[in-house]
Chain A
Amino acid sequence: MTDLIGIPIQALSGQLLLGLINGSFYAMLSLGLAIIFGLLHIINFTHGAQYTMGAFAAWMGMTFFGINYWWALILAPISVGLIGVAMERLMLLRIRDIAPLYGLLLTFGLALVIQGLLRHYFGASGLRYPIPPLLSSGSNLGFMFLPHYRAWVLFISLVVCFTTWLIIERTRIGATLRAAQENPGLVEAFGINVPRLVTVTYGAGVGLAAFAGVLAAPIYSVQPQMGADLLIVVFAVVVIGGMGSILGSIVTGLGLGLVEGLTKVLYPEASSVVIFVIMILVLMVKPEGLFGRTS
């Protein structure tokens, strides 16, 4: 059996895998957005730029300091997350009490600055980041060829997503976090430093974006615009999922990646818009999103 409803199995499974990988990026980024949104009530428009920074941090680490992929996977999210902490302390903190839309505009401005700087220093064309030697080969599964790096990306992003979910839903820190979302004043009264919690959460959300950026570096070319283009798709994913729940982000992200991959096989012309079309359909039927809460 080499084809299914007229489509070669090889092509189909290849595209589905690619779709799942894209989906895992959607999941990680919408997860980060949801965490930040929950506590700060702003849409972090800088998220895409922070993802890009993660990829660039990995590239710079390799080029200037000889830091390998595995170390980059740890160091890049930490350093980008720290830059995020600084942004939160210096800027986002000042607009906490005004309309959330201004948070979006501020983070949009930040994204422009970061993109502009990266383009100035590194140019608009893509930089190459090699796949780590350990994962550079692949295996033949019979029905498809599986590049090891792709399998790794899928595996580790699922682990990261699931761990984040566990931390937020099943630990004491997570409980505090959820409580602070519901009623910051009350949590403060229990002696918890909510502003610090907000700062740490923002840093963690940014770190998550940067982590995704490092994972993406060997697959996509590292260039200043990479996060901006992805972020708009993630926004659509967020609208579809509803950003109500952490699990919702993960499921919606992966699911939409798969749908996109499937569309690439069945009707390639529509693959770049299929998520937006789904967004419209969902909005018609369930404006609050698939996993969203009403009100």
Chain B
Amino acid sequence: MADTTLANAVGGLEQDDKSLHRAIFMGLALLLIAAPYAFYPVFVMKVLCFALFASAFNLLFGYAGLLSFGHAAFFGFASYVAAYTAKYWGITPELAIILGTGSGAILGLIFGLIAIRRQGIYFAMITLALAQMVYFFSIQRPDFTNGEDGIQAVPRGHLFGVIDLSNDMTLYWTVVVIFFAGMLLMHRFVHSPFGQVLQAIRDNENRAISLGYRVQRYKLIAFVVSATVAALAGATKAIIFQVATLVDVHWSMSGEPILMALVGGVGTIFGPLVGAAVITTLQNYLISAGSWVTVIQGLIFIVCVLTFRAGIVGTIANRIRRGL
């Protein structure tokens, strides 16, 4: 039953799809070149960070069938590490992002080793509980996180020690490069033989085991990659907004990438990106609506699950019969 509902499997990357995807990536590149002239660059950067975050979540849920409810841990922890090292150690932004991402990867390895021992909803509950430990840690170690205040006024610094990132446009191009690298990496990962095995495990785990695949190892690697990309998004966000707070590690932050992936299309490469753009824009417009934001997000969840499971990109993919 999971085979048909969980996602529209991309399957092997056919030649047609390959050229289509190349065209989409090119179009995306052009869009990103034009975007800062049409929109506020900081807003576009926010969308890109969340797109990366949602894609990381989708890598696990859409392609491996593992619903993580704890991705805020990687996102938020990496954001703390990047903010802390950039501010108090005074290191360059690219090093801070690398350190943040690396710490998220290590955290992902530890969480992954524990969480992949159970499947389905148990997996979801375990990731949620583990992420909650990171949240409590962040509250109880104000020497590292500054508690309720968070780490503020994080310097954007100079890229490689030379390029000043305090300029929004310079930072924008840097973020675009990070985003593009992340997306291409994920695209490559999903369409590699490894990604194919992952989808086989999602569709029928027992069959994959009987074919001789070491299922647990595949799941673990997918988990670590996903955590690492989520951490990359979190670390980059800390540099862009110059702040890291408890909001980023709170469990409600784990709901954000799920919502974005669901709206855009679970199990598609471009879905989370579209979902992130839609949800972030919505949040921007609703910023003054207070509690209604939560209500509307909840309603979107309900509508998506009940009537729109394929999401925006998934629906388009089904319509044109191509993997997106």
Q: Is the CB of A119 within 8 A of B291?
A: yes
Q: Is the CB of B298 within 8 A of A111?
A: yes
Which residues of the other chain, B, contact A173 by a CB distance below 8 angstroms?
Answer: none
CA distance A257 to B132 in the complex (A): 18
Which residues of the other chain, A, contact B133 by a CB distance below 8 angstroms?
Answer: 273, 276-277
CA distance A273 to B131 in the complex (A): 11
Among the listed A97, A114, A120, A279, which residue makes an inter-chain contact with B1, where contact means beta carbons less than 8 Å apart?
A97
Which residues 39-89 of A have a CB within 8 angstroms of B? 42-43
Number of interface residues of B (CB under 8 A): 44
Report the minimal beta-carbon distance from B92 to chain A, rounded to whole angstroms. Answer: 34
CA distance A113 to B133 in the complex (A): 25
Please name the residue on chain B nearest to A98 by beta carbon: B5
Report the minimal beta-carbon distance from B304 to chain A, rounded to whole angstroms. Answer: 8
Q: Is A110 interfacial (CB 8 A cutoff)? A: yes
Q: Is the CB of B295 within 8 A of A102?
A: no
Q: Is the CB of B124 within 8 A of A106?
A: no
Please name the residue on chain A nearest to B121 by beta carbon: A43
Q: Is the CB of B255 within 8 A of A232?
A: no
Among the listed B294, B296, B302, B309, which residue makes an inter-chain contact with A91, where contact means beta carbons less than 8 Å apart?
B302
Report the minimal beta-carbon distance from B147 to chain A, rounded to whole angstroms. Answer: 14
Q: Is the CB of B306 within 8 A of A113?
A: no
Q: Is the CB of A232 within 8 A of B291?
A: no
Given contacts A99-B6, A273-B133, contact A116 B305 (CB under 8 A): no
Which residues of the other chain, B, contact A283 by a CB distance below 8 angstroms?
Answer: 114, 117-118, 126
Which residues of the other chain, B, contact A94 by a CB distance below 8 angstroms?
Answer: 306
CA distance A97 to B309 in the complex (A): 13
Which residues of the other chain, A, contact B67 by a CB distance below 8 angstroms?
Answer: 101, 104-105
Given contacts A112-B255, A117-B291, contact A99 B302 (CB under 8 A): no
Which residues 102-129 of A have a CB within 8 angstroms of B? 102, 104-106, 108-117, 119-120
Q: Is B284 interfacial (CB 8 A cutoff)? A: no
Which residues of the other chain, B, contact A273 by a CB distance below 8 angstroms?
Answer: 133, 136-137
Q: Is A272 interfacial (CB 8 A cutoff)? A: yes
Q: Is the CB of B1 within 8 A of A109?
A: no
Which residues 259-295 of A have a CB within 8 angstroms of B? 269, 272-273, 276-277, 279-280, 283-284, 287-288
Given contacts A112-B298, A236-B125, A276-B132, contact A105 B262 (CB under 8 A): yes
Which residues 292-318 of B have a CB within 8 angstroms of A? 292-302, 304-306, 309
Interface majority SS on A: helix, strand, loop or mixed?
helix
Given contacts A106-B301, A112-B255, A112-B295, contact A91 B306 (CB under 8 A): yes
Number of A-B contacts (CB under 8 A): 129
Q: Is B57 interfacial (CB 8 A cutoff)? A: no
CA distance A108 to B67 in the complex (A): 13
Contact-residue size bin, chain A (C-beta under 8 Å from the other chain): 35 or more
Given contacts A97-B1, A283-B126, contact A110 B291 (CB under 8 A): no
Q: Is the CB of A95 within 8 A of B129?
A: no
Interface 1/0 per residue, B78-121 and A, CB below 8 Å: 00000000000000000000000000000000000010011011
Which residues of the other chain, B, contact A130 by a CB distance below 8 angstroms?
Answer: none
Q: Is A235 interfacial (CB 8 A cutoff)? A: yes
CA distance A276 to B300 in the complex (A): 31
Q: Is the CB of A102 within 8 A of B301?
A: no
Given contacts A109-B305, A115-B294, contact A238 B124 (CB under 8 A): no
Interface 1/0 per residue, B120-155 and A, CB below 8 Å: 111011101110110011001000000000000000
CA distance A239 to B122 in the complex (A): 7
Interface 1/0 per residue, A210-249 and B, CB below 8 Å: 0000000000000000000000100110110000000000
Q: Is the CB of A239 within 8 A of B291?
A: no
CA distance A114 to B291 in the complex (A): 10
Q: Is A8 interfacial (CB 8 A cutoff)? A: no
CA distance A173 to B233 in the complex (A): 52
Q: Is the CB of A116 within 8 A of B295?
A: yes
Report the minimal beta-carbon distance from B151 to chain A, rounded to whole angstroms. Answer: 22
Q: Is A138 interfacial (CB 8 A cutoff)? A: no
Question: Which A residues lie at the B interface, using CB under 8 A?
Answer: 42-43, 91, 94-95, 97-102, 104-106, 108-117, 119-120, 232, 235-236, 238-239, 269, 272-273, 276-277, 279-280, 283-284, 287-288
Q: Can you sample 15 A-B contacts with CB below 8 Å?
A: A91-B306, A94-B306, A99-B1, A101-B6, A109-B298, A110-B298, A119-B290, A119-B291, A120-B295, A232-B128, A232-B129, A236-B125, A236-B129, A239-B126, A273-B133
